[in-house]
Amino acid sequence: MGTRKASCRAEAIGDSGAMHLLFVCTANACRSQMAEGFARAIAPRHWTVASAGTHPRGLDEQAIAAMSAVGIDISAQRSKVLAPDFLAHADVVVTLCGDAEDTCPALPTKARRHHWPLSDPARVQGSESDVREAFARVREEIRRRVEILVFSLGEDQAVVKSITPIHDSGFMQFRREELLLPNGAHCRLDIIRHPGASCVVPIHPDGRVVLIRQYRHAAGGFILEAPAGKLDNGESPESCAAREIIEEAGVKAGRLHRLGPIFTTPGFTDEVIHLFAATELESVPAAPEHDEIIDTLVLPLNEALELAQSGEIRDGKTLCALWRLQQELARGSIRP
């Protein structure tokens, strides 16, 4: 997969009429730089995104490598001191470490403040593999938080008054949240917190796509869908997508193409599914989990779209992925 440059929108904070998003940590070397890179890649183009540090020490090479592994090039970003004009024009300030939370200067009254208490991967001791894994874990947590932040910034946010845990499945948390809504109303919501997932449509050079027919108890039986699965701890969406099409569809991707993230059911969960297309396919043995009942179906993309239009494909993530794939093929940005 090709590496994207984190777009070099203006470093200076101050353009009128746009959201100004600032990430702060002590050294402005790892966490805030990765957050800046994700925000530049995800946020609307007219937003101004920057990062800074109370004691900047330069861009960390491991952070550059970790972001490059998921297709984002932050090597052109700079480690910068937290200047007064950054804060003066910021709409949202996110601090990413305890030191910055403690020493960050007084914020302008208009700025919304978020704190993400993320461990510093640069402090991990151990082998090169241990350090890479630490950066990957922190990177994926930053990616998840940036996506949720960017998607939610269009409106004022609710104030969470209390959280009551109800059930923890091991990867999903079910909890009750008492909220003060932006309009002043109070409400209680039952929320499922989810680590996210990846969904991928493999496409052959002749335009045939690989779907699966899988038993889904909650849906009442077998459904047609694209291969998909949840993110394991510290796993990137790209790694998850590559793993899932091997396990479920018996194909290995030479290239993955991002089709964008979607919220599944934002009324009660924060689950984000990352959509991909896979090209340069190689047949490999499938390896479904013991509780997965799966058959594969290979058919032309236009037939898959006809099944979607007729209602035979009703799975939301699959409908979105097929539609986005059709768009990118028509645009010429993906070539099977």
CB 253 within 8 A of CB 204: no
Query: Other C-beta atoms within 10 Å of 213: how many?
Result: 13
- Domain identity same for 71 and 132: yes
In a domain, 324, yes or no: yes
- Domain identity same for 183 and 224: no
In a domain, 336, yes or no: no
pLDDT at 105: 53
- Domain identity same for 213 and 226: yes
In a domain, 46, yes or no: yes
- Domain identity same for 170 and 269: no
- Domain identity same for 127 and 175: no
User: Last residue of a domain, which of 122, 152, 182?
Assistant: 152
- Domain identity same for 48 and 9: yes
In a domain, 23, yes or no: yes
In a domain, 51, yes or no: yes
pLDDT at 336: 87
In a domain, 319, yes or no: yes
97 assigned to active site? yes
> Which listed residue (30, 97, 199, 320) is catalytic?
97
> Which listed residue (30, 104, 240, 320) is catalytic?
104
User: What whole-number distance in Å separates Cα of residue 93 and Cα of residue 23?
Assistant: 6
Alpha helices in 153-299 (DSSP H): 237-244
Q: Which two tokens stand for residue 9?
A: 């929108």
Per DSSP (E only), the strands in the chain are 4-5, 20-25, 48-53, 72-73, 92-95, 112-115, 159-168, 173-180, 186-193, 197-202, 208-216, 221-225, 228-230, 251-263, 272-283, 294-300
In a domain, 277, yes or no: yes
- Domain identity same for 246 and 139: no
In a domain, 238, yes or no: yes
User: What whole-number distance in Å separates Cα of residue 47 and Cα of residue 280?
Assistant: 35
Helix, strand, or coil here: 157? coil
- Domain identity same for 44 and 98: yes
pLDDT at 91: 85
User: What is each CA distance from 100 to 32, 48, 116, 211, 326, in whole angstroms?
Assistant: 11, 21, 10, 47, 45
pLDDT at 26: 87
- Domain identity same for 201 and 189: no
> Which listed residue (25, 30, 240, 320) is catalytic?
25
- Domain identity same for 227 and 168: no
User: What whole-number distance in Å separates Cα of residue 183 and Cα of residue 190?
Assistant: 20
β-pair partners for 27: none
User: What whole-number distance in Å separates Cα of residue 33 and Cα of residue 68?
Assistant: 13
- Domain identity same for 148 and 8: yes
User: What is each CA distance from 162 to 94, 114, 156, 184, 188, in whole angstroms?
Assistant: 22, 17, 18, 16, 10
User: What whole-number distance in Å separates Cα of residue 223 and Cα of residue 214?
Assistant: 6
The residue range of the domain holding 236 is 197-331
- Domain identity same for 327 and 249: yes
Compute mean pLDDT per 10 residues along the chain, 336 residues long, and list them.
Answer: 42 50 92 94 80 91 93 91 81 80 56 86 90 93 88 66 87 88 82 93 97 96 97 88 96 95 92 95 92 95 97 97 96 90
pLDDT at 1: 42
Residues 6+ apart with CB under 8 A from 13: 20, 22, 48, 50, 85, 86, 88, 89, 90
CB 41 within 8 A of CB 21: no
Query: pTM of the full predicted structure?
Result: 0.60
In the chain, how many domains are there?
3
User: What CATH number should be reported for the domain holding residue 82?
Assistant: 3.40.50.2300
